[in-house]
Structure 1
Amino acid sequence: MKLQILFLMMIFLGVPQMSSAAIKTEDFDSIKLYTLKNNSGMTVKITNYGAIITSIIVPDKNGKAGDIALGYNRVEDYINAVDKPYFGAIVGRYGNRIAKGQFEIDGETYSLAVNNGENHLHGGTIGFDKVVWNAEPMEGNGWQALKLTYLAKDMEEGYPGNLEVSVTYTLNNKNELKVDYLATTDKATHINLTQHTYFNLKGEGEGTILDHELMLNASKYTPTDSGAIPTGELAEVKETPFDFTKAKTIGKEIDEDHQQLIYGLGYDHNWVIDREDEEGLTLAARVHEPTTGRVMEIETTEPGIQFYCGNFLDGRLKGKSGKPYVKRGGFCLETQHYPDSPNQPNFPSTLLKPGEEYETTTVFRFSTKK
């Protein structure tokens, strides 16, 4: 099968009303939906608004295709979503939290938007999930790709430096979706990009994900305070509900009386990936859904992975199939550096300086087992 890239305009019902200035009327003509397909039954749809993955269609163990990514049919719904769940988006300039919305570089303190209690979350008020990226389709022998680029200007959302960012999604015939991140800056800054798709391997809108079997290749995690800011400790998962070193269902211990589960209302923590190679791709997670037989494996060059199991979904949001997204109706596995790294000197650094390149890769691999 010859691979093709399809271009589809997003569906609009007039210009959406917004409380922020993220999207101007003239931007709407440049918002499109791009479709990547392979010859193994997999389809990925991506919009250049927020670099959002809107759909991931993969076969189950019987060959039946289904959409496993939570999301919407209309761009308005992404813009106006209640509680801003970041469905499918690239989040940045800094994914996850920064304590009190501040960090210091070379003796100068930078103040960011405080949009999550007293802390900064996912790049601020208008993060990378709320801007229009430039898009460039690409194609080769056995693969299709979409390269998305964005220039975050100096002091945008309080971050120093003009940051040139590219995110490239590549789909191949092995049902692998590779995400390559690249960035450069003209002034020292902090960066921590990640992909924020919510998955339900039974299918989007098909109930909870508590029966999914999860393995995390991590013997330690980063406990947090009540505001989800790491304490600085790298805690052993052994003999705690956070031990996923051997596969178990997500719901097995999620409601145990453990202070970290109380803080997170379930799992919403960063795990420290066990890796022998500090720079290469390493298996971070494997998820299996028994009824469909779908399997997702994640490899990454990043040191951490945030596992979030949809604790704040409550049924108010309805997705592409019209079904409500119930509590724990989707999970995220966000490859990343650790939360609040700019203020945690013992964590791997997220500082990017002029002349350096920020370069990371994550691969989502899909398969089935009977």
Structure 2
Amino acid sequence: MEIKEKLLSNGWKKFTFSNNKGITISVLDYGGIITEINVPDHKGTIENVVLSYKDYDSYINDPNYFGALIGRVAGRVEGASFSLNGKEYTLDANDGDNSLHGGKQGFNKKIWEASPFQSSTDAGVVFTCESPHLEGGYPGSVSIKVTYQLNDQNQFIVDYQAISDQDTPITLTNHSYFNLSGNAKRPICDHKMKIASDRFVELDEHLIPTGNINSNQDTPFDLRNETTLKSPLGSDHSQIQLAGNGYDHYFIFKETGEEQVTLRDEDSGRVLKVHTTQPGMVLYTGNGLGDEFQLASGPAEKHSGLCLETQASPASLHHDGFPSALLKAAEPYNKRTTFTFDTF
């Protein structure tokens, strides 16, 4: 196990840590951004399986949130407002009339305190920050700790911890775009995917939850059996169409002790398995990507990558029956998502 630290010309720090199996991960203290996850294919060729920009400056005002830590609340909050304990809170409206991914100055724009670590069995970085009362409009002063850890089982473990002095909404995630072809050689349309979910959240034309939780049965959202993404991404289903010919939807996980998500690329032989303590996940298939975004691998294109945003549901702030994003005062927030890389 090894970790290296580099000071970039713009003052940010980059941390690169690796295991003994050929996996190397690079992250920034700016936004906790993951810029590279380099993993071997079935022939041993090591390539980056997350999308990253050609230039670091592109991360400063990134509408795609490439690789970033997201908070306080991942996803869209309807009307950039919510009521809690009889009080109305107004949030940053940075997505039309709604608040997206924590608002104008979300956790993706923070310089995090970073403490690298390594041992004989793991290596990584602990990121910490303080979010003051009413930052982004959210109540409570919150202490945040996020740990990125890589081990020799080819597991990349992300631990999220927080504690607040007031009741407040919080659901943290990471917004990496995965593409197992390596260096984004091909769009993710030929990837095969399996999700342990039988329900998804219906969206309106502004990508805001309607309040309906729908069955996946007999829809393109039924990914309980391994499915090549090309078919559902080309569907004429109204929910696929309104999201820009793809997914931007919250899947509620079934109770299971197995991995909730499996992603596989036939050509490279790479496999990604995701296990999380979160109740669900937003699957976003890069529907808004285009060649105006210059990746390290070249111009982006639609469906260049997909996000696996494990989290609670911001719809719970306005509708009953959704996985709650509410954190009680002085109650610890502890969530873990594990990404396991393999080949076949």
The TM-score normalised by the length of structure 1 is 0.90
| 8 Å Cα contact 1:270-1:339 kept in structure 2 | no
CA deviation vs aligned residue, 1:101-128 (integer Å, no higher than 9, x gap)? 1111110000001111221110000100
Question: Which moved further from structure 2: 136-145 or 62-71?
Answer: 136-145
Structure 1 counterpart of 2:340: 365
Task: Say which of 66, 90, 96 aligns to 1:117.
Answer: 96
- Listed as ranges, the matches of 1:1-370 within 5 Å are 3-12=1-10, 28=11, 31-81=12-62, 84-265=63-244, 266-276=246-256, 282-321=258-297, 323-369=298-344
Give the SS at the match of 1:252. Answer: helix
Flag structure 2 segments of 5+ consecutive residues without an equivalent: none
Deviation at residue 318 of structure 1 after TM alignment:
1.2
Cα distance between partner residues in 1 of 2:198 and 2:315: 20
Cα distance between partner residues in 2 of 1:46 and 1:223: 34
Higher strand share: 2
CA deviation vs aligned residue, 1:123-159 (integer Å, no higher than 9, x gap)? 0001000110000112233101210001011111101
Deviation at residue 224 of structure 1 after TM alignment:
1.0
| 8 Å Cα contact 2:211-2:315 kept in structure 1 | no
| 8 Å Cα contact 1:11-1:74 kept in structure 2 | no
- Aligned partner of 2:268: which letter? T
Cα distance between partner residues in 2 of 1:108 and 1:80: 32
Give the SS at the match of 2:260. Answer: strand
| 8 Å Cα contact 2:314-2:324 kept in structure 1 | no
Cα distance between partner residues in 2 of 1:357 and 1:298: 23
| 8 Å Cα contact 1:217-1:285 kept in structure 2 | yes
Give the SS at the match of 1:233. Answer: strand
Give the SS at the match of 1:5. Answer: strand
Cα distance between partner residues in 2 of 1:11 and 1:267: 37
Cα distance between partner residues in 1 of 2:56 and 2:105: 16
- Post-superposition, which runs of at least 4 consecutive aligned residues in structure 1 deviate over 3 A? none
Give the SS at the match of 2:241. Answer: helix
Deviation at residue 253 of structure 1 after TM alignment:
2.2
Identity of aligned residues (%): 37
Cα distance between partner residues in 2 of 1:204 and 1:102: 39
CA deviation vs aligned residue, 1:150-195 (integer Å, no higher than 9, x gap)? 1011111101111100100000011110000000011111001001
Deviation at residue 73 of structure 1 after TM alignment:
4.8
| 8 Å Cα contact 2:193-2:223 kept in structure 1 | yes
Cα distance between partner residues in 2 of 1:40 and 1:187: 44
- Aligned partner of 2:86: which letter? G
Question: Which moved further from structure 2: 296-305 or 282-291?
Answer: 282-291
Cα distance between partner residues in 1 of 2:2 and 2:97: 46
Give the SS at the match of 1:260. Answer: helix
| 8 Å Cα contact 2:54-2:294 kept in structure 1 | no
Cα distance between partner residues in 2 of 1:70 and 1:253: 22
- Aligned partner of 2:170: which letter? I
| 8 Å Cα contact 2:195-2:224 kept in structure 1 | yes
Give the SS at the match of 1:228. Answer: coil
Cα distance between partner residues in 2 of 1:153 and 1:348: 25
| 8 Å Cα contact 1:309-1:331 kept in structure 2 | yes
Cα distance between partner residues in 2 of 1:331 and 1:4: 28
CA deviation vs aligned residue, 1:235-275 (integer Å, no higher than 9, x gap)? 11111011110011111122222111122112110111111
Cα distance between partner residues in 2 of 1:9 and 1:75: 12
Q: How many residues align?
A: 343
